Amino acid sequence: MGKILMKGNEAIGEAAIRAGCLNYFAYPITPQSEVAEYLSRRMPEVGGVFLQGESEVAVGYMLFGAAGSGERAFTTSSSPGVSLMSEAISYISSAELPVVFVNIVRGGPGLGGILPSQADYFQATKGGGHGDYRLLVMAPASVQEAVDMVMMAFSLAEKYRNPVMILGDGLIGQMMEPVEFSDHLKSEPSNKDAWATNGMDTRKSKERNLVKSLFLDAQLLEEHNLALKAKYDRMKQEEVRYEPYNIDSDYRALIVSYGTMSRVCKTAIDNMKTEGIEVAMIRPQTLFPFPINPIRKAASKKGCVAVISFELSMGQMVEDVERSVQGKCPVYWHGKAGGEIPTPEEVIDKVRSFT
Amino acid sequence: MSAIGIAGVKQIKGIVIIVGNYGSGKTEVSINLAVNQKRAGVDVKIADLDLVNPYFRTREARKPLLKLGIEVVVPEEKYLQADLPILSPVVAGLIRQPSDLTLIDAGGNDVGATVLAALADSFRNKRVHMLQVVNPFRPFTDTIESCLKMRGEIERASKMTINGIIGNANLIDETSVDDIYNGYDFVKALSGESRLPLEFITASVELLPEIDMGRFSCPVIPIERQLVPPWKRAVELKK
């Protein structure tokens, strides 16, 4: 099949279908409503279900129920909607169920605005809901990467029995780019026997599965949390993904940037190169686990005098960048949070001022 | 006549409404048609009636259009970034006292075309031309049948009739000359099936030099891309 032209939101919906997910629960909110629009047409064509919940709170528990019964399920929302789902995300994490969440981030806090933002970085990577849980968080920078990540997300969610979140800023959902759907990303059917509460008839084991998040016994809760932690540590070992850019040059500065902001930075880096100024970039593709070691190594390179975190927020990822660099190089931040995206010229000015 | 005129589009006049499915390229086509006609000496006004799309709307190109002397009717400045269904009263006025060419850029699908029905009173006794933009590289308009279905949905929602087709085959930056040829063959077949005239097709200015114009029986409007993401530059519109 050749390439087709798709809006990010449509492509995300199609990718979920191609990954074998036939359960989509959602509540409309700009700038992600086109996913629902698209899947309201497509799901009936493939024998799947699109159910609009009465709110995002309901959607969160529809996902909990579907995943608990062994079904592949996913939702898409935008910032305030994800806040409403946060309780369910915590429960689903504790119950160790695979669910894919897509957050097409808009400006905040509160109702904020409808323009692109990355201000849900903390919410996605540090919690949002309560308790010691982690989401595996992936951040696409193009429509094609959104497709690939959504397809990968279902496999990863099942591999770790953990929710996976795709964090895309509003532009990822709204812009149009050519995409193709490759079969090699099609995820294998999972071993849902380990968790699905779908009756004893077809089970190999005689032991029944139980979906729960309540552990009143102190020792059992401690053990549960230790097991979760071991899982998150394994993600840190095995799932770090990032893209280096111009990293083999003799760069004076290292940019850390993700999502569509990183594409502005790439243009800026290319423009600076024509003027003889070398700047490198590390683009985290996973925000949790964060590419700590690659950033530390890149920041330690001789001649690098500044590490700059460019984000569509008031400085969230920069805290992880500082944690990675560990004082080996000065760390700076530049960002916007109103919905405007810094221009390549603005990025160049900032790089100049910090070096 | 400017260099762009080589593509052979004659003067288009009257009220022209641009409809089509989501992401078919209505706005980019409207902007470039407006520019093309202005350069051909036609007085042009353009109205952004997209009430369903939150980003990438005509209103984002209003400054370069104004520079060329093309009036752009958009919601009030303070509502420009809102996703509210605001229909500026100026639009009705614009239809009552049209320019040589009055372009109306409607929103996507039947949902986006619904607003046209609300303007029925203003359209009464006016000669209105409604054109359907088709990009066969988009989902839901990749077959003749689905394009005809879209046509029916838009006509029902707008309570108006589509009078012609615009071929806008593209994969943005990845469009090849063959894509343009295949896209032309597709809309030509659609034109035959629907008995609607093929008004024109489009091709990006970057591709134009490689294209064999003799292959087409309709005009070609060059696209100087205006709706670009922030890491790309829009083509500078010259007079």
Classify residue B234: in a domain, yes or no. no
A165 — phi, psi (to 5°)?
-115, 135
Beta partners for B48?
A: B105
Q: How far is CA A322 from CA A275, A331, A354, B227, in A?
A: 29, 6, 16, 36
The verdict on A280 and A307 lying in the same domain is yes
- Burial annotation A94-109 (CB, 10 A radius, 16+ → b, else e): bbbbbbbbbbbbbbbe
Same domain flag for A8 and A91: yes
* Residue of chain B whose Cα is closest to the Cα of A174: B55
Would you say residue A270 has pLDDT above 50? yes
Does residue A220 form part of some domain?
A: no
Distances from the Cα of B64 to the Cαs of A213, A325, B54, B72, in angstroms? 57, 44, 20, 10
| Cβ-based contacts of B174 with chain A (< 8 Å) | 3, 178
3-state secondary structure A46-108: CCCEEEECCCHHHHHHHHHHHHHCCCCEEEEECHHHHHHHHHHHHHHHHCCCCCEEEEEEECC
Q: How many domains does the structure of chain A reveal?
A: 2
Do the Cβ atoms of A20 and A154 come closer than 8 Å? yes
Most A CBs within 10 Å: which of B28, B52, B55, B168, as the mutation test of the A interface? B55
Q: Do B142 and A4 touch (CB under 8 A)?
A: yes
Judge: A260–B135 Cβ closer than 8 Å, yes or no.
no
Residue A295 Cα, gap to closest chain B Cα (Å): 24
Max Cα–Cα distance, chain B, nearest Å: 48
Q: Say whether pLDDT at A74 is over 70.
A: yes
Using one digit for the tens of pLDDT, what is the confidence trace for B125-183? 888 999 999 999 999 999 999 999 999 999 999 999 999 999 999 999 999 999 999 99
Residue A132 C-alpha, separation from nearest chain B C-alpha, in angstroms:
36
Residue B5 is predicted with a pLDDT of 38
CB contacts, 8 Å: A339 with chain B: 81
- The stretch A238-252 carries a mean pLDDT of 98
Does some domain include residue B214?
Answer: yes
Element (H, E) at B44: strand B44-49
Within-domain flag for A205: no
Greatest C-alpha distance within chain A: 69
Q: What is the CATH number of the domain that holds B47?
A: 3.40.50.300
Query: Quick check: A143 and A11 in contact, CB under 8 A?
Result: yes
Average pLDDT over residues B189-202: 97
Cβ-based neighbour number of residue A132 at 10 Å: 14
Span B1-24, pLDDT tens digits: 333 334 456 778 899 999 999 899
Restricting to A residues 140-179, those with a Cβ less than 8 Å away from any Cβ of B are: 170-171, 174-178
A210, A197 in Cβ contact below 8 A?
yes
Contact A344 B139 (CB under 8 A): no
| Residue A268 domain boundaries | 242-354
Whether the per-residue pLDDT at B81 is higher than 80: the answer is no
Q: Which of A144, A176, A271, A310 to mutate to test the interface with B (most CBs of B within 10 A)?
A: A176
Do residues A248 and A122 share a domain? no
Task: Name the pLDDT band for B80 (thresholds 50, 70, 90).
Answer: low
Residue B79 resides in a domain: yes
Mark yes or no for CB contact A114/B82 under 8 Å: yes
| pLDDT value of position A113 | 93
Closest by Cα among B174, B222, B172, B186 to B202: B222
Strand A23-26 relative to strand A49-52, pairing: parallel
Pairwise CB contact (< 8 Å): B229 & A30: no
Closest Cα in chain A, distance from residue B42 (Å): 31
Q: Does A338 touch chain B (CB under 8 A)?
A: no
Do residue B22 and residue A341 have CB atoms under 8 angstroms apart? no
Mean pLDDT of chain A: 95
Residues B62 and A4: their CA atoms lie apart, in Å, by 29
What amino acid occupies position A148?
D
Q: How far apart are CA B135 and CA A5, in angstroms?
A: 9
**Residue B239 counted as domain residue:** no
Q: Are A47 and A99 members of one domain? A: yes
Q: How far is B56 from chain A (nearest CA, A)?
A: 8
Which is it for strands A279-284 and A253-256: parallel, antiparallel or unpaired? Answer: parallel
CB under 8 Å to B24, separation ≥6 — which residues?
B108, B133, B134, B135, B138, B141, B168
Q: CB distance B139–A6 less than 8 Å?
A: yes
In angstroms, the CA B230 to CA A341 distance is: 7
CATH code, domain with A283? 3.40.50.920
Provide the chain A residues 98-137 that lie in CB contact (below 8 A) with chain B.
113-115
Say yes or no to pLDDT of A287 above 80: yes
Give B-chain residues touching A170 at CB under 8 angstroms.
54-55
Phi, psi of B135 (to 5 degrees): -120, 105
Report CB contact under 8 Å: A267, B231.
yes
Model confidence pLDDT, tens digit, residues A183-221: 766 666 677 888 999 888 877 778 889 999 999 999 999
Q: B17-49 pLDDT, tens per residue?
A: 999 998 999 999 999 999 999 999 999 999 888
- pLDDT higher at B115 or A135: A135
